[in-house]
Structure 1
Amino acid sequence: MVFFYEFGTNLFGLRRRVTSGRRLDDKVVVITGANTGIGKETAYLLSLRGAKIYIGCRDIKKGETAIQEIKARNPDSNLTLFKLDLSSLKSVRYFANQIKNTEKTVDLLINNAGVMACPPSVSADGYELQLATNHLGHFLLTLHLLPLMKRSKSARIVNVSSCAHLVGQIDLDNINLKHNAYDPFKAYAQSKLCNVLFTRELAKRLPGSNINAYALHPGIIDTEIARHGKPANGFMKRYLVLNAFMGSQTTLYCAVDESLDNESGYYYELIICHLNI
C-alpha cells in the first residue's frame, strides 16, 4: 500500500514545494544529522531564510565538509558545528550543554538524524542502536532544550519520522529486541513509531504553550540512510525515490509554514494534509 502511495504521488507530481516566504532572521535553529541528505538540504534552505543554525553530527569531518558546501551555495549562511552522537546519552548531554552555554533561546529544533535497518548493534548505553539513535537520543535532546525553547516567542519541534511507523510495534517487555527478536526493519519501524508517539505526547504536555510539535514522513529519499539496504535504480529510482531537495520539503513545511501556527501533535506527509494521530 505504501509503495503505491509513494509511486502515485511522485509520478503525478502531487508533492508540493513549500510556498511560505516566512523569514527566520535572528531565529536559532538546532538540527541533527545535517551533514548529509535531507538534513543538509534543510539546513541550506533554512539558511536562505536568515536563520542562525547549529548542526549536530557524529562525524566532524563530514560536518565541516557539509558546512563548506552550504556556504558555497549561500555565502551569508550562519552555521555552527558541534559533535553529536545520538546513540550516546553522554554525547547528547554534552551537545545540549554547548547550545545552552552559547544561546539563551532556541526557536526551532529539527530532530532529523537517523539510521535505518542496520545490522544488530548496541549503543554505548546498552540500547538497541536504532532505538537509541532515532528516538532516545532525540528524546533526551528535546528535554534538555525545552527550557531554551520556552523562552522563544514561538518555537517548533520537528521530528522526522517515517511511514514505517504504520507497521511499527513497541515491545515494552523486550524493547531492545533481544533473544533473537531482532529484525532490522522491525527495529526501524519501532523507533519511528516512537517518534510519532513522542510528538503526540509533547503536544499533550505542552497545551496552549509557545511550543508546537510535528512529526513527518519525508518520502522515500535517495540518501545515505539506506546504506544497509539495496540501492534503488532504474524504474524505482526514477518514479519512487525523491532527491534531497524534494525530500526536505515536508520538514521545511513543518518548520516554517504559517498555516501550522495553531497546530500541534500531528503527523504530516506530502505537505498536503495532516493526519490525526
Structure 2
Amino acid sequence: MGAWWTLLGHPLWAACTLVLVLVVRAQKRTRWDPRACPVKLHGKTAIVTGANTGIGYCVALDLARRGARVILACRCPIKGTAARDQIRSLSGNPQVDLRILNLSSMASVRDFVQKIKEEEKELHLLVNNAGVSGLPKQFTADGFDTTFATNHLGPFLLTHLLLNLLKASSPSRIVIVSSSNHSKGKVDFRHFTGEQLVHRSDLVYNHTKLHNILWSNELSVRLQGSGVTVNCLHPGIVVTDVLRHYPLRLRVIFNLLGFFFFKTPEEGAVSTLYCAFSEEMDGVSGKYINSDCNLVLPSATARDAQTGKEGYEVCLRLTSNL
C-alpha cells in the first residue's frame, strides 16, 4: 500500500493525469465551432423548448447573442423567468421572452401555440429540445405515458400546429434533439399509452428517441418544397440535469465520470446550433447529425420509411382531438 501511495503522489503521476484529462477533453470538441460561425439572426424568431437549463439554455443564449428574437418555452415559471433574465443580461438582447409550455399536456401545447399565433407574425426556427428520462410508469391526463408525451407526442403536436407559421416564414428550420440511444429503442405503438407489460425508464427513453427520428424523416418528406427543413441530432453524452429523476448514487457517478469524459452543456449544444443556423445545413432536410456535427446514418429501424409514415399517422390520430 505504501508503494502505491508513493507512486500516486509522485509529480510525474500528477502530470500524466493532467495530460490525460486535457487529451480527453480535447477529443470532445466537434469539427464545427459556433464561435467561428459568422451567421447573424437579426429579424429571425426562434422557439426553444426546455430552454431554462442545460443544452436548451445554451442554445437560446447563442441565438440571442446572434440577434434573434428568442422565445423560451419552459414548464416552470420560476426557472424560466430566471433563465430569461440571465440570457437578456448576458446577450444584451432584450428580445428574449418566456412562454409557459408543459409538453406532457396536449391542452398546454394548444394554449401555447394559440398565444404564439396571436403574438408572432413569423417563426423561422423551432428547436424541440426538451426531454425527460428516468420517470416511473405514470400517465398524463390525456392517458399517455408521461415520458412519451413529453419527449414525442407533445413535440409532435407543437410542431404540427406551428407548421403553417413556419411555412409562411420560410426558409425556416425545425430541429429535433434525439439521441444515439435510439438504436436501443423499439417501435410498439402501445408504448404511447403505456400498455407494455414491462416498464424500464431507460428503455422508454430510448423508444421515444427512436420515434423522434422516424417522425423527423417522415416530416421531411411531407415538407418537401415548402422551404421548411427538419433534422434530428445526437448531442453527445452531456452533463445536465436530465438524470434528475434517477437515484442519487447514479447521478453522483455520472457527474464524476462526466468531468473527465462527457460534454458540458455548452459543448453538447453545438450539434443543435449546427442544425439551427449553420450555412452547411442550408436546404438540408431529413438527416441525422451526430455529436461531432457529421451526417451519419441512424439505425436501420429509424430509416424505415413505412414505419415512419405509420407512426406519423398514429400521432396525428392520438393528438387530433386533444
Q: Which residue of 1 aligns with 2:20?
A: none
Aligned length: 269
1:121 and 2:101 are equivalent in the alignment: no
For the pair 1:222 / 2:239, whether they are aligned, the reply is yes
Q: Deviations over 1:102-150 (max 9, x none)?
A: 1121100000111012111111211001100000000000011101011
Tell me if 1:135 matches 2:156. no
Matched with 2:197 is 180
Question: Is the 1:9–1:15 Cα contact (8 Å) retained in structure 2?
Answer: no
TM-fit CA distance, 1:20: 2.2
* 2:44 equivalent in structure 1: 27
Tell me which of 206, 217, 241 is aligned to 2:223: 206
Distance 1:185 1:135 in 2: 15
1:111 aligned to 2:132? no
1:256 is displaced (CA, Å) by 0.5
Q: How many percent of aligned residue pairs carry the same amino acid?
A: 38
Query: In the alignment, is residue 244 of structure 1 matched against residue 265 of structure 2?
Result: yes
Q: Quote the offset at 1:270 in angstroms.
A: 2.3
1:171 deviates by: 1.1
Contact 1:158/1:254 (CA < 8 Å) preserved in 2?
yes
Give 2:27's aligned amino acid: F
C-alpha distance in 1 between matches for 2:79 and 2:137: 24
Q: Is the contact between residue 28 and residue 262 of structure 2 (CA under 8 Å) also seen in structure 1?
A: no
3-state SS of paired residue (2:113): helix
Q: Post-superposition shift, 1:10?
A: 5.2
* Greater fraction helix: 2
Contact 1:177 1:187 in 2 (8 A): no
Q: 1:9 to 1:261 in 2, by over 3 A?
A: farther
Q: CA RMSD in A?
A: 1.7
Indicate the larger mover: 117-126 or 11-20.
Answer: 11-20
Aligned to 2:206: 189
Q: Secondary structure at the match of 1:150?
A: helix
Judge conservation of contact 1:53–1:79 (CA < 8 Å) in 2.
yes
Distance 1:118 1:174 in 2: 14
Whichever residue aligns with residue 145 of structure 1, its letter is L
Whether the aligned pair in 1 keeps the contact of 2:24 and 2:260 (CA below 8 Å) is: no
TM-score by length of 2: 0.80
Match of 1:268 in 2: 289
SS in 1 for 2:189: coil
Shift in alpha-carbon separation, 1:118–1:39, aligned structure 2, 3 A: same
Partner of 1:4: none
Measure, in 2, the Cα distance between the counterparts of 1:216 and 1:59. Answer: 25
Judged with a 3 Å threshold, the aligned counterparts in structure 2 of structure 1 residues 77 and 166 are, in CA distance, closer, same or farther, namely farther
CA distance in 2 between partners of 1:247 and 1:13 (Å): 9
Residue number in structure 1 paired with 2:170: 153
**In 1, distance between residues paired with 2:64 and 2:143?**
36
Cα pair distance change 1:164/1:13, threshold 3 Å:
closer
CA distance in 2, matches of 1:269, 1:179: 30
Length-normalised TM-score, structure 1 = 0.92
Q: Deviations over 1:14-70 (max 9, x none)?
A: 524223211110101011110111101110000011000111111011100111111
Question: Structure 2 unaligned runs (5+)?
Answer: 1-22, 298-302, 304-322
- Counterpart CA distance in 2 for 1:86 and 1:25 is 28
Tell me the amino acid that sits aligned with residue 117 of structure 1: G
How far does the alpha carbon of each residue in 1:83-120 deviate from its partner, in whole angstroms, 9 at most, with x for none?
10000000000000110001121100000111012111
Report if the CA contact (8 A) 2:177-2:232 is conserved: yes
